[in-house]
């Protein structure tokens, strides 16, 4: 659980300090990698935790 939180927190902090010029390109690569990461982790963790964490991380990415 700590690895998931640290992973999304580090990317969330990196987004806020990233320049806005290449923000869209970085966000597309991050979202594709995040989708692949969640699909991989769905075999290791319960599905309800994956869905809750997935929507929570994307809710944080809006800000």
Q: Is residue 1 part of a domain?
A: no
Q: Is residue 20 part of a domain?
A: no
Mind listing the pLDDT tens digit for each residue in 7-61? 555 555 444 444 444 445 555 556 666 666 665 565 555 555 555 565 556 555 5
Q: Is residue 57 part of a domain?
A: yes
pLDDT for res 51: 56
Q: Is residue 8 part of a domain?
A: no
Listed in sequence order, the residues at least 6 apart from 27 whose beta carbon sits closer than 8 Å to its beta carbon are 15, 61
Angle between helices 47-62 and 2-16 (to 10 degrees): 20
DSSP string, 12-53: HHHHHTS-GGGHHHHHHHHHHHHHHHHHHHTTTS-HHHHHHH
pLDDT for res 13: 46
Q: Is residue 25 part of a domain?
A: no
Q: Is residue 16 part of a domain?
A: no
User: For the chain, what is the domain count?
Assistant: 1
Q: Is residue 18 part of a domain?
A: no
Domain containing residue 53 = 35-63
Q: Is residue 15 part of a domain?
A: no
Distances (CA, A) of 28 to 25, 32, 49: 5, 6, 24
């Amino acid at each position: 659980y700590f690895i998931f939180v640290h992973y999304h927190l580090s990317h969330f902090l990196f987004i806020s300090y990233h320049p806005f010029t290449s923000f869209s390109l970085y966000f597309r690569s991050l979202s594709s990698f995040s989708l692949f990461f969640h699909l991989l982790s769905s075999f290791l963790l319960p599905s309800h935790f994956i869905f809750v964490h997935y929507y929570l991380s994307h809710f944080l990415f809006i800000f």
